[in-house]
Structure 1
Amino acid sequence: MHQCAQHPAPASYGRAFAIGILLNVVFVVVEAGFGFATNSLALLADAGHNLSDVLGLLMAWGGYALAKVAPSPKRTYGWRGSTILAALFNALLLMVAIGGITWEAIGRFSDPAEVTAPVIIGVALIGVVINTATALLFVKGRKGDLNIRGAYLHMAADALLSLGVVVAGIVIAMTSWQWVDPLTSLLIAAVILFGTWGLFKESINLAVAGVPDKIDPADVQDFLTSIPGVTAVHDLHIWAMSTTEIALTAHLVKPDADDEDSLLKETASELHHLFDISHTTIQIERCVDATNCGQAADGTL
């Protein structure tokens, strides 16, 4: 058997999380205060979403920190899976925020409240700056880490949503159409849903040990089968240990196995190069009868 070296998560995001949380806490207090003072549902909806982002950032930071805890005899993978739970929590939190914003906006259509457009515009512009700055803290890690992607998605969406509030304030100032405020809230909810759905599906998939979206298990199967001397592959499992690390176990049937150490080393290296699979455990078998490997007939690949 062979397991390749681990690939630790970047060490620079702790400071990014701290700065992002501090900026957004200050902005939530300011935005909510002006929202209540001006009866603006758009500002309150945006503040509520920003508050959920603060909680989301805290969860993401917690998962990021726990992922660095060393493995133990009871937790052989350490706390790496906490990053997956943090991503799932972020997605669920956004879904709750969508429901609350939508409910309030529908009620405001039948009972609109007069809002102060200049205040809405000024506060929302501050939000554009703060949310954009926070999103930039996570822009480099968004592609390789679902947990960091959740944090980035929150902040990038907020920047766009705050910009939407600015537009709503300008329209209200020019037309006195108060219904633009709840309409903007519904648009905010729609944009959040659109941006969150992929995160929601992928985090659930990883939470139940599904194959990460970026990997096609058939391609992995084909690669393993193509190894010289390998006649069959079974009991193939691919799953995420965390939002940055992918693991694989498989049984390779190789009747004429002679240099297993070299084979295992080269296979693990290629799996990492081709599929970004960083933890590989492979079992070599010379035949596949019932006494040799019971997993060969259980329906797995």
Structure 2
Amino acid sequence: MAEEHNHEHGGHSHGVAADADRRWLASALALITGFMAVEVVVGIVAGSLALISDAAHMLTDAASIVLALIAMRLAARPARGGFTYGLKRAEILSAQANGLTLLLLAAWLGYEAVSRIIDPPRVAGGLVLVTALAGIVVNIAAAWCLSKANRTSLNVEGAYQHILNDLFAFIGTAVAGLVVVLTGFARADAIATLAVVVLMVRAGYGLVRDSGRIFLEASPTDLDPDAIGDRLVGNPAVAEVHDLHVWAITSGQPALSAHILVDPGGDCHAVRRDLEKVLSHDYRIDHTTLQVDHTTEPALAHCGDPHGPVHRDAPHDH
């Protein structure tokens, strides 16, 4: 007799961890917004693009943390109505927004930096150096706060990358300020900005790529669907595995569905339990939907055109 079994392991309680994450993010937000206001004023007085760009970057840092906090609230809501997964992917939207803002900011700062290399303005190196050194301390503290949160969440990682890039920016700005003080080479300010632009593009691209994979239902990078299919069909009672799909509901929550064909004398229930154990233990996939049927079942016409590769057992008598 054919059977269809929809199996979902529940009990993922992250309430305490999520509350702790929110506290760490809120602490980083307070540090950043306080310093950002000071930096804007000093940057204008000193005539430093590097400082103003750092302040603009800190504004996106603050926005990224606010976005992350909102996304955490949305993701914590239970599934209901048409949102059968809840709003867990709000965190991935947040990560993608963080990546895009990094790329857009990098484009603007790159343009401004090139303009200043061509026509360098006067820069008050002493003010730049002192402010940048203070910024390094603030960003190290903010980065430490975020490192305490759960960075396996792409949402938290997005905010962390913003802070980390800002830390690098302040280090570059401090070096530029020192160069201006010692040598009067005003172009150092713009060159430091360009160095940070490269880091921002790298981080932004990574976030957009990783969040895009989740939205496109691609398998997580550490899971190979073909290898999983070969492993499942290696069960002695399994004749074929097709319509195998592996995706991520949100970062750190992989899911799998598949149609399993079992030899005529096989126990469908036992096979399903065995395969779920393999998926949970070896691949850390606890969200599974396995439809298990005997190969002799006539009601398999809907699989005449299976999605993706078909995994079959090595040829022998079934």
TM-score by length of 1: 0.93
Structure 1: how far apart are the matches of 2:37 and 2:127?
A: 15
CA contact (8 A) 2:114 2:190 kept: yes
Aligned positions of 1:65-84 closer than 5 A: 65-84=73-92
- Counterpart for residue 286 of structure 1: 294
- The letter for the 1-side match of 2:55 is A
Which residue of structure 1 aligns with residue 94 of structure 2? 86
In the alignment, what sits opposite 1:114? 122
CA–CA distance in structure 2, aligned partners of residues 258 and 275 of structure 1: 24
Tell me, in whole angstroms, the C-alpha distance in 1 between the residues paired with 2:222 and 2:201. Answer: 22
Does residue 1:249 correspond to 2:257, yes or no? yes
Q: 1:38 aligns with which of 46, 49, 52?
A: 46
For residues 251-289 of structure 1, what are the alpha-carbon distances to aligned partners after superposition, in whole Å with 9 as ceiling and x for unaligned?
111124654444333422332232222311111021288
2:110 to 102, 107, 110: 102
Residue 5 (structure 2) pairs with residue 5 (structure 1)? no
What does 1:199-218 correspond to in 2, within 5 Å?
199-218=207-226
**Structure-2 separation of matches of 1:110 and 1:253:** 68
Contact 2:259/2:292 (CA < 8 Å) preserved in 1? yes
Distance 1:34 1:72, change over 3 A: same
- Match among 43, 50, 53 for residue 58 of structure 2: 50
**Letter of the aligned partner of 1:24 in structure 2?**
I
3-state SS, counterpart of residue 238 of structure 2? coil
Q: SS state of the match for residue 56, structure 1?
A: helix
Q: In structure 2, what is the equivalent of residue 220 of structure 1? A: 228
For residue 273 of structure 2, what is the aligned residue in structure 1?
A: 265
Question: 1:161 — aligned with what?
Answer: 169
1:297 equivalent to 2:305? Answer yes
Q: 1:26 to 1:293 in 2, by over 3 A?
A: farther
Alignment gaps of 5+ in structure 2: 310-318
Change (3 A) 1:131 1:260: farther
- Note the C-alpha offset of 1:132: 1.5
In 2 relative to 1, CA 133–112 (structure 1 residues): closer, same or farther, beyond 3 Å? same
Q: 1:22 aligns with which of 15, 19, 30?
A: 30
Q: Which amino acid aligns with 2:111?
A: W
- Partner-residue secondary structure (3-state), 1:241: strand
What is the distance in 2 between the residues matched to 1:286 and 1:163? 64
Task: Give CA-to-partner distance per residue, 1:205-229, whole Å, 9 cap, x none.
Answer: 1112111222122221122112231
Partner amino acid, structure 2, of 1:4: H
**What residue in structure 1 maps to residue 313 of structure 2?**
none
The verdict on how the C-alpha distance between 1:293 and 1:141 changes in structure 2, with shifts beyond 3 A counting, is farther
CA RMSD of aligned residues (A): 1.9
Amino acid of the structure 2 residue aligned with 1:23: L
Amino acid at match of 1:282: L
Q: Give 5+ residue unaligned stretches, structure 1.
A: none
Give me the whole-angstrom Cα distance separating, in 2, the residues matched to 1:140 and 1:255.
Answer: 50
Q: Distance in 2 between matches of 1:298 and 1:4?
A: 26
Question: How far apart are 1:68 and its partner, in Å?
Answer: 0.7
Structure 1 counterpart of 2:82, which letter? K
Measured after TM superposition, the shift of residue 93 of structure 1 is 0.9
Asked whether the equivalents of residues 4 and 268 of structure 1 are also in contact (C-alpha less than 8 Å), the reply is: no
The number of equivalent residue pairs is 301
Matches of residues 123-134 of structure 1 in structure 2 within 5 Å? 123-134=131-142
- Alpha-carbon distance in 2 for matches of 1:77, 1:208: 16
Cα distance in structure 2, aligned partners of 1:128 and 1:296: 61
Matched residues in 2 for 1:297 and 1:44: separation? 58
Normalised by the length of structure 2, the TM-score is: 0.88
Separation (CA, whole Å) in 1 of partners of 2:245 and 2:172: 45
Structure number with greater Rg is: 2
Give identity over the alignment, percent.
Answer: 30
One-letter amino acid of the counterpart of residue 131, structure 2: V
Tell which deviates more after alignment, 104-113 or 230-239: 104-113
Q: Contact 2:260/2:292 (CA < 8 Å) preserved in 1?
A: yes
Q: Give yes or no for contact 2:51–2:128 (8 Å, CA) kept in 1.
A: yes
Amino acid at match of 2:108: G
Counterparts of 2:77 and 2:8, CA distance in 1: 19
Structure 1 residues 97-106 or 237-246, which shifts more?
A: 237-246
